[in-house]
Amino acid sequence: MDTEIVKIEVNNDVVNASALGEKDAAIFSEEEKACIAHAGEIIRNGGLVAFPTETVYGLGGDALNPESSKKIYAAKGRPSDNPLIVHIADFNDIYKITAGIPETAVKLANAFWPGPLTMILPKSDVVPKETTGGLDTVAVRFPSDLVAQEFIRAAGGYVAAPSANISGRPSPTEAKYVIQDMDGRIDMIIDGGENEIGLESTIVDLTINPPQVLRPGFITNEMLSDVLNEKVETDRAIIEADSGIAPRAPGMKYRHYAPKGTLTIIEGEREAVVAEINRRLEADKADGFKTGVIASDETIEEYAADVCKSSGKAGDQFAAAHRLYSILRSFDDENAEKIYSESFALDGFGAAIMNRLLKAAGHQIVRL
């Protein structure tokens, strides 16, 4: 199939101006509006369109059409027991797809929507089981990205979208990665530039008491706890890799985000980590392997790897999250076989970074 690729850029000057109360200019040109309307029509006709969000690129289809959901699974090569997130662009649209909204959902929506938070809620009959992977619950997210919002509205209000990668690869954070994975498999790709956050949304399950985080993200447990006035825990299965417990978000059980080479995390004092990684690099090179390192701005000069990438200034969690998936993909592009990463602190957004990095490493971590 021919995949149409279009570029749509939000006019940020206008966004800022309208935040200041000036409303007359347009965020999209007439041509861009027509493009988004066309993308919406593709979805309403049962097709698939990849689109930008503030977290990662999504692979969208009509959430209320079972055939669209089946097509999404096929395009991604994803097991169909792994449910999709339904994206909306107006809070009131949540009532049609859910069966009863707890007070907690309203509080969290007021605090964090539109934004990088997904809520698990009981589903209504209009949501087909194909979209929810057979579950009686539905994941709902209202993204803040303005291209995403305009597109969701044009598509009829309910867009099912997993990350727009081939199953098992890192989520795409730039259109070029979507093109790598999805060109020829879907009808259209909307290129909205680099995603702002670069890691997938926080998923919180509100069907149980107390609420539980099933996938950590930019919205942290502390931020959720503050709004709800109760302690929000993380699903134990995703913290304890070897617990043998099944994660409550089916997707979290799959080996994900993994580069083709082996990835090992080395944790400890900075100097000891640099020394240990260099020792391993030397051995790997002697064995003829191509090597890679995820360093920081402070340490990047110290490694003798074939492919060395900085996750940003040490301690800059936003930079590290933003770069992680493109760094993992670059190791594949350059055929790195033995890859090492420095470790990240677990506080705040760090829990999400380490969750993804540990998954990419198949939980191989060496603590010095």
Among 118, 221, 291, 326, binds ligand TXA (CB under 6 A): 118
- Choose the stretch contacting ligand TXA; rule: CB under 6 A; options: 33-41, 198-206, 327-335, 344-352: 198-206
Hey, which residues does 341 pair with through a beta bridge?
Answer: 265, 294
Q: Where are the alpha helices (DSSP H) in the chain?
A: 12-19, 30-44, 66-76, 94-97, 103-112, 146-154, 175-182, 221-228, 236-239, 270-286, 317-333, 350-360
Tell me how far apart the alpha carbons of residues 225 and 234 are, in angstroms, rounded to a whole number: 12
Compare residues 280 and 359 and give the one whose CB is closer to Mg ion. 359
Q: Which amino acid, 75? A: A
The C-alpha atoms of residue 96 and residue 216 are separated, in whole angstroms, by 27
Task: Decide if residue 355 touches Mg ion (CB under 5 A).
Answer: no
Q: Which of 132, 212, 317, 326 binds ligand TXA (CB under 6 A)?
A: 132
Name which of residues 231 to 250 contact ligand TXA (CB under 6 A): 248-250
- Interacting residues with ligand TXA between 140 and 159 (CB under 6 A): 141
CA gyration radius for the chain? 21
Tell me, by CB under 6 A, how many residues bind ligand TXA. 28
Whether the CB-CB separation of 338 and 263 falls below 8 Å is answered with no
- Going edge to edge, which strands form the sheet with 202-205? 4-7, 188-191, 49-51, 58-62, 159-160, 85-87, 137-141, 117-122, 202-205, 212-215, 233-234
- Interacting partner of 214 out of Mg ion, ligand TXA, none (Cβ under 5 to 8 A depending on kind): ligand TXA
Interacting residue with ligand TXA among 98, 104, 149, 163 (CB under 6 A): 163
Residue 212 vs 291, nearer CB to ligand TXA: 212
Structure tokens, 275: 């020394």
Q: Which of 151, 152, 175, 171 is nearest to 55 (CA)?
A: 171
Out of Mg ion, ligand TXA, none, what residue 259 binds, judged by CB under 5 to 8 A for its kind, is none
Question: Which entry of Mg ion, ligand TXA, none binds 345, CB below 5 to 8 A by partner kind?
Answer: none
- Our CB check for ligand TXA shows the closer of 158 and 340 to be 158
Kindly state whether residue 195 participates in binding Mg ion, applying the rule CB under 5 A: no
Range 38-67, binding ligand TXA (CB under 6 A): 53, 55-56, 58
Q: Which residue is nearest to ligand TXA (CB)?
A: 251
Which residues, 6 or more positions from 101, have their beta carbon under 8 angstroms from its beta carbon? Answer: 94, 95, 121
Q: Please state the closest distance from residue 334 (CB atom) to ligand TXA, in A.
A: 25
Peptide bond into 102 cis (omega under 30): no
For the CB of residue 81, give the shortest distance to ligand TXA in the complex, in Å.
Answer: 9
* Site for ligand TXA contains 219 (CB under 6 A): no
Per-residue x/- track, 160-189, Mg ion (CB under 5 A): ---x--------------------------
